[in-house]
């Protein structure tokens, strides 16, 4: 699958990040999961685009952006302010994914 292949190219695949993030909202769950994994494997180069995706109108895109940030770990520290804001909101559809991402990023920081 293209998402799996993309993650093998590392930093040189920066240009593909926005297109991969759009796949986070694909109606097919497997495509979403593969896109999240591929973008998360890119690490820090994907963080700015993922932070932008946290404000998308698509709920699945927002939740998957938070999941990818959580998988990235410490290099995603720049996303913590926005993730904390989303976690504090009372909207259960995306506050939980934001809370999980904050816990994951902060847990890695403390080790």
CATH for 75: 1.25.10.10
- Nearest Cα neighbor of 23 from 65, 52, 51, 66 is 65
Distance CA 107, CA 52 (A): 23
Q: Given this model, what pLDDT does residue 93 score? A: 78
pTM for the full model? 0.81
- Domain range holding 55? 2-110
Write down the residue that tokens 């993922």 correspond to: 50
Count of structural domains within the chain: 1
Q: What is the pLDDT along the chain (111 residues), one digit of tens a residue?
A: 555 555 555 555 677 888 888 888 889 988 988 888 888 888 899 999 899 999 988 888 889 899 999 999 989 999 999 999 999 987 787 888 999 999 999 984 454
* Other C-beta atoms lying within 10 Å of the C-beta of residue 93: 11
């Amino acid at each position: 699958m293209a998402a799996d292949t993309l993650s093998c190219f590392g930093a040189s695949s920066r240009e593909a990040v926005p297109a991969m993030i759009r796949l986070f909202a694909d109606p097919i769950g497997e495509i979403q999961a593969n896109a999240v994994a591929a973008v998360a494997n890119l690490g820090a180069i994907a963080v700015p685009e993922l932070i932008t995706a946290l404000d998308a109108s698509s709920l699945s895109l927002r939740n998957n952006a938070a999941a990818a940030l959580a998988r990235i770990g410490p290099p995603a520290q720049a996303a913590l302010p926005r993730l904390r804001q989303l976690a504090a909101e009372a909207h259960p559809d995306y506050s939980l994914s934001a809370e999980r991402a904050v816990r994951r990023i902060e847990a890695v920081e403390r080790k």
